Chain A
Amino acid sequence: MPESHPGLEEYLATARRRIRLQRLAQLSGGLLRGLGVLLIIAVGGAWLFPQAAVALSILVALAFAGALAALIVAAVRPVGDLQAARAIDAHFGLPDQALSASELTPEAGENWVRLLRADTQTRLANLDWNTRWPVVWPKYSAAAGAAVLLLSALLAVRLGVLPPSAPVADSGPNEKAALVEELLADWEKAAELTRDPELRELLAELQPLRDELPKMNEREMFLALSKLENKLEALRDAAARDSLESVAGDMASAVENIEGLGPLADALRRRELERAAELAEKAAEKLARKGAEVPAGADSAATRQKMARAAEKLSESGQESAASAIQQTGEGARRKDPSQMAQGMKQLAQSLAKAAQSQSAKARLGLQLAQLGQCKNGMGNEEGAGLSLTVKLSEQKGQGRGAGSEIDPDREKDPTDLGSERSLEGLAGLAGEGESEVETLSSETPGSEAPREERNAQFAKYEKLSQQAIADENLPPAYREAIRKYFEAIRPAAGPVDP
């Protein structure tokens, strides 16, 4: 028996090594090609789009890691005896000899197996493994490997020359805390600018919240902002009550027929309360002068009646001071006592001045609520960050609240009152005032089917326009809602219509 030959196990071990090498060779060819293509794209992309260089590098790094992992798996994946024996048989043209030699145990016939193993070893010893079973590395693999290394170096160089980028923003709560802090800083700046005591008071109350912000998680921050929102809404409601806006029209009606108080009535109608206060103050001074007379129209029955109604409405809305001022003015007119009228007007001027402050506070609170809403709904949203109270307050003109200055959570209700000088131009107007197009559909058939089909087609055309209008963010939401409701109302019925 040829004892000098290596044992079958040794040949099987050699076969296992060859199988692993072959796996690596086959895999490396595909990987080199893939990595090469990826690197060409990455290097090109990094040069053309420097902002994408980091992302591309991460992608390349992941691909390298994947390739390395695949190579490691291929190298360490176990090769069974059976697989190794089969490979030997296939490469050396031995018909299932190594397979049988590795599988058969002495129980199958000790001497048979011994002879078989000896014969297998002799055959394998006389064969040249490198000739019969060469491990073929992919063509141009060295060149491909060098190219991959070169491209990797190029990408690294490109990364090295890029300016240091800002640290990647943390998308966690800190970013949101920074956003809220930015908002509060904006309010602080606005408070300094306007010297608004209420805003200062509010900021003082919010100081503990500001201190806690960096420690809060997203949920806590959301709850704190909701609480603040509720508070601001309550303040805004109170300011709205004090602003006399709801009864300004009645007050204007009460004084419009009194000689010299027409501008006051106009200012009241336009909700320009600060201006109205100034005019009321001037009227009071005029009436307080010596020899002043009760202005014409002040003691007419209509004026008295309107004054009484205005006083009643003011009283109902809790504006006792303004109600008392109107009553006193009316009483002075009735008694033909200009000094009493002057006192009433003075008191009215004071009420209006206070209401003007409330009106301003209401507008400011509306903005603050809008900021908060955007902050809550789209933390990190650029739109939310761009809405500045400081800018809005410094831009504010007159006493108008400004179109779009108020975000009402209930968008189903009537559109925002547009009292602003700035915004009236774009949104004012009555139905039918502008250009319009009328199209009449007629049918020769007496039934309703043909016109209905035409109408459906026509509606489909208009529906597209309506959808564009609804999607247009330049229109206030309430207007968009009105457009939607209108087109829903005129939508043709789906079912057949009885003639």
Chain B
Amino acid sequence: MLTLKENQLDAFFALIEKKRELYLPVEQNTGKSEFKRWAEGDKYSTALRTTRSAKNFFFAKSENLYDIEMNDKKVEVIDTRKDCNDFVIFGVRACDVRSFDVLDNVFLADPVDSYYKNRRDHGLVISMACSKPAATCFCALFDIDATSPNGDIQAWHVDDTYYFDPITEKGDAFVEEFKECFTEADDAPVRKQKEETLNKIEKLPFVKLNLDGFATEEKLTELFDRPEWKDLSEACLGCGTCTYVCPTCQCFDVKDYKVSEGKTKRYRVWDSCMYSNFTKMAAANPRLTQTERFRQRFMHKLVYYPIKNEGMYGCVGCGRCLVSCPVSMNIVKVIKTMGDN
């Protein structure tokens, strides 16, 4: 397997950054890590997870769709799209890599979203296997293997060595381009780490929850009508924390920003089904209370999305909502209740 010593990592990053934009997790002054553009002196953070997910790289939290101008009665639509620069995201965990598949099913479905596709085409994902899973991790519940994290190139960090395994054409081309950085070495340490990690994952509290029937049309209305939604949603503040830290939440709004008289930028921003006006129409709102909005978010991830996407769940078990929810209500508590766990 291709390897790189830890002390060569910064040189590797510098080389990538010469040819591409490089993004990776870096520790912030809060002690938490976030993805950021690599700059000389930045140290790659091996923290298990970033506070925010990596979805922003493909589904930007805010992006201009096009400009639209109006002068007197004339309207003009201006296509402002351009090819984005090639970029590399380093250190993406298996859960976040899976979230890209979840997003692909939405944005690359016909009609293809050209903004998303542009980034997807120009982005290369170097994933990083987990070796110290958190108690709040449950990716294994959704058949994600945290020790084989996928992406274009999957990577492992064992002791002072990084191991790389390209698994797509894009990944092959990349390692070929940067081949002078790597040396071949035996992958026995990787195999050993995988085994140890899988043993740890096995013991995590939420990896074997019952999801029977969740992804089936037969149980859809039954789950929808369960009375427990009311109690589960009782404490929900209706904020968007879970949605915005979630790697798979993909709802958006389209809005206008008036730059000057007659000049408007039409842009899209992340939105949240937890918000009171998400479905509000001029005369009615089908989801009037937080109970309905709360139910929508979880039904969408655990029932609607998998029915529509051959059983793939809309949750990747990253555990971010377990950490960030102000009232400690989260998808695990929902699964436990609704799956009669």
A and B held together in a complex:
no
Interface residues, chain B, CB within 8 Å of chain A?
none
